[in-house]
A and B are shown apart, each in its own frame.
Chain A
Amino acid sequence: MNESTLILTLFAAIGLGTPLVFGTIGEIITERAGNLNLGVQGMMLVGAVAGFWATYNTESLLLGVIIAMIAGSLFSVIHAFASVTLRVSQIVSGLALTIFGTGLSSFLGEAGSEPLVGEPSKATFEPILEGGLADIPVIGPLIFGHDILVYISWLTVAAASFYLFRTRMGLSLRAVGEDPASAESAGVNVSRVRYIHIMIGGALSGIAGAYYSLALVPTWQNEPIGAAGWIAIALVILASWRPWRALFAAYLFGAAERVQFTLQTMGEPWSNVPSSLLAMLPFILAIIAMIVLTSGKRARFLGAPAALGLPYFREQR
């Protein structure tokens, strides 16, 4: 592997990893509030189709992203209402959200007299700098060669980390995720905190979906995101609920994705390996990384929120 292949791989890893960064950060924020939302896949798909539709009709990328965020966030309210207000099992409610979102995005892509399916996007995200800084060897493309959403994803990671650990709301949110009864008796509104952060998770998933339909594969097709929603949920564990680790976990996965694409095109001996086996590589890597990083003694330092997945009843005796 020569230098340019390495840089290409890293560059692609950042691109492929970016939607995972958004999705993982969103789920970290939701889970830190004690709510496990397995609807990430559904929220991403709804964001993908909504963002694509908005840009298709307005030719505005900004509007596309905003609509994707709003759509993902509103869609997540279904899960919030079911799991926080009605106290349905979070697992059941999240899975329902994924099933519903998958169907809804396919339906919206094919509905109407002029269906979206097969249509190319009217605008796509492009690198913001041509030449200049982006031409510096190695660090040029890796740092300056991306589209705007990559930079926004970095800002999101920094903002999420600051929010979680340095602000009053972040403290309330972590407390609600660890011990809702204690948080409530300290005057924190548990339901409101959970609603807000489920919706923030939904909004970030929405951007993640839009990144697929407006940047990575800017033609509408059914389920353009692959299994990204599920990967994001796994990456939360790999990142042990910490934003900066999520960035690296997402890029690690992006790199694995890129490597398997590259292997498929490298000819002998790789062409003898069925492509479906190579396509499994990133997932196998994710599983191995998860086992190695989270097993045994390390599990104690993982930092899973103690109340994750538990509905909260105040007058329970």
Chain B
Amino acid sequence: MADHADTLAVEFRNIDKAFYGVKANDNVNFELRRGEVHALLGENGAGKSTLCSILAGLYRPDAGEFLYEGKPTVFKTPKDALAAGVGMVYQHFRLVSNLTVAENLALGHPKLGIRISQSELEEEARQLGDEYGLPVDPSARVWQLSVGEQQRVEILKLLYRNAKVLILDEPTAVLTPQEAQQLFKTMRQMAEEGRSVIFVSHKLHEVKQVSDRVTVLRQGTTVGGADTADAEPRDLARMMVGRDLELPTRDENLDIGGPMLTVDSLRVDGDRGLEAVRGVTFEVNAGEVLGICGVSGNGQRELAYGLVGLRIPTSGTVHLDGEDVTNLTVADRIDKGFAYVPQSRLGMGLAPGLTTEDNLGLKAYRKPPYSNGPMLAAGVFKEKGGQWITEYDIRGVRPGLPIRLLSGGNLQKALLAREVELQPKALIARSPTRGLDVGATEAVRNLVLAERAKGTAVLLISEDLDELLALSDRVLVLYEGQVAGRMPADEATPERLGLLMAGQKEEAI
């Protein structure tokens, strides 16, 4: 027993957790040793995040045993978990963006006195950052930092509290390949010191590279585990998905037409009044996918806003099919043939409280047959909506209930159905498969590729390099609001794009 307690940091036995009757964890077993990097592998929705949230004290299990350092434990709140030495870096960072880095480290720390000194805090933060290869300016406010830097702050926060178990939930999703390598070094360093690191991912090559052991989850249960060194990536993939799988990629034999969407020296302001898009020029041809990559926050959002009219550019021009649309309103641009798939499906893409049918009619409703003058034709919403729900295989729709109850994949299918049915000349899509499971990713990719085949100019803005390379004909890298490089997709590799995304000049590569 003593030996057992000595090697195991965490043990989960037969854990169940349900949300509103849906089982997110169903009989999950998991063991974490001291001083190891343990990968938790699984599809979106496989229950990885739920399991981690139980460990971090955010959720409580409905059933099952949880042993921490050999003793049965219940963490009632994240505070309990932190006090015991368990901390988590969430996918959506838990940083207070208006506070400084040092203040975020100090927040809620039990050992601080009543009075706090900014300068002492900053000094401590700087030392800790140097020690672990996580450099970040402690006096900066979090909103001023890049996503990669914010992640470092999250890890520093846990180290500052001397966490013994660190859970990193898909940490590499927001990093360039080079930043990911640096993170892996830090993870190994932490493991060597005797800390345990849980590395949540669905990227097999990363799991293979950094972890000691791996546990695979599928549909809420543990389906297997292995020492990483003995595990074949192909076997892990099959365990994770439950079948062999090939995601769709673009057909290279299709013809590409002439320029459809032409952007010249475009400048667009960011939220805080600073210029976010600083003179960007490109064109997208009919029947072509242009992929835009970059670390998030390098002007992608503002570029999309400038194109669809959510923000009027300060200078430069946008032409669609030869027509100047630079200063048109959003509604006018929709009429001219712009379709937009925003990053947040429920925030900007769909009206969460309306029904699926109403949402599907939300762009066409100004015109017949959806409306006649001021009167809406409710029958048309129902009829067309029902037709598209079948055609686009949108599942889980119940009459009269709001669309927000659908899963992410079905939301995205509904959103794409509405946009594509406008018969657009240009489709602008931001991270369309983010957070979707493999089946939904497949469906969404096929929809995007079908638009390309129809001769639509597609602008695909994404941080997922694998996806960009699979779908795009050409790739353009944005760095600090400017074009850092552009190339045909055949010549692009994740490494080459990663360097450009990090601001290195092409000549230096």
Contacts and interface: CB of A to CB of B under 8 A. Distances in A.
A186 interface: yes
A181 B94 contact: yes
Interface stretch (B106-114, B301-309, B310-318): B106-114
A192 to B, nearest CB: 11
B108 A186 contact: yes
- Which of A171, A181, A182, A184 has the most CB atoms of chain B within a 10 A radius of its CB? A182
Interface string A157-189: 000000000111101101100110111111111
B344 interface: no
Interface in B101-125: 103-104, 106-110, 112-116
Contact of B108 (A172, A178, A315): A172
Contacts of B99: 171, 174-175, 178
A216 B112 CA distance: 43
A315 B24 CA distance: 13
B88 interface: yes
Given A300-B272, A300-B273, A315-B59, A187 B95 contact: no
Interface string B325-366: 000000000000000000000000000000000000000000
A187 B58 contact: no
A189 B79 CA distance: 8
B422 interface: no
Interface residues of A, number: 26
A174 B98 CA distance: 9
B115 A166 contact: yes
A178 B97 contact: yes
Interface string B445-489: 000000000000000000000000000000000000000000000
Contacts of B157: 186
A74 B73 CA distance: 37
A306 B8 CA distance: 41
A186 B157 CA distance: 9
Nearest to B112: A168
Which residue, of A168, A178, A315, has the highest number of chain B Cβ atoms within 10 A?
Answer: A168
Contacts of B90: 185
A181 B88 CA distance: 13
Given A171-B107, A175-B96, A297 B273 contact: yes
Contacts of A178: 96-99
Nearest to B121: A171
B58 A186 contact: no
A167 B107 CA distance: 11
Interface in A275-317: 297, 300, 303, 306, 314-315, 317
A167 B93 CA distance: 24
Given A167-B115, A300-B272, A317-B19, A175 B107 contact: yes
Nearest to B93: A182
Contact of B94 (A186, A303, A315): A186
B272 A182 contact: no
B58 A314 contact: yes
B94 A185 contact: yes
B82 interface: yes
Contacts of B95: 179, 182
Mostly, the B contact residues are loop
A169 B108 CA distance: 9
Interface string B39-72: 0000000000000000010110000000000000
Interface residues of B, number: 33
Contacts of A187: 77-79, 82-83, 107-110
Contacts of A315: 19, 58-59
Looking at B98, B107, B116, which has the most chain A CB atoms within 10 Å of its CB? B107
Contacts of B115: 166-168
A177 to B, nearest CB: 9
Contacts of A297: 273
A40 to B, nearest CB: 25
Contacts of A306: 97-98
A175 B96 CA distance: 6
Contacts of B88: 185
B225 to A, nearest CB: 27
A186 to B, nearest CB: 4
A185 B19 CA distance: 20
Interface in B280-322: none
A310 to B, nearest CB: 14
A183 B110 contact: no
Contact of B113 (A168, A175, A188): A168
B98 A172 contact: no
A188 B116 contact: no
Contacts of A169: 114
Contact of B114 (A168, A179, A183, A317): A168
A306 B108 CA distance: 19
A306 B96 CA distance: 10
Contacts of B56: 185
Contacts of A168: 106, 109, 112-116
A299 B77 CA distance: 36
B34 to A, nearest CB: 23
A183 B107 contact: yes
A80 to B, nearest CB: 20
Contacts of A171: 99, 103, 106-107, 116
Given A169-B114, A185-B90, 10 more contacts: A166-B115, A174-B96, A175-B108, A179-B94, A181-B94, A182-B95, A187-B82, A188-B79, A300-B273, A303-B98
22 contacts: A166-B115, A167-B115, A167-B116, A168-B106, A168-B114, A168-B116, A174-B96, A175-B107, A181-B94, A183-B107, A185-B56, A185-B58, A185-B78, A186-B78, A187-B108, A187-B109, A188-B79, A189-B77, A297-B273, A300-B273, A314-B58, A317-B19
Closest 4 CB pairs of A and B: A187-B108, A186-B108, A187-B79, A182-B94
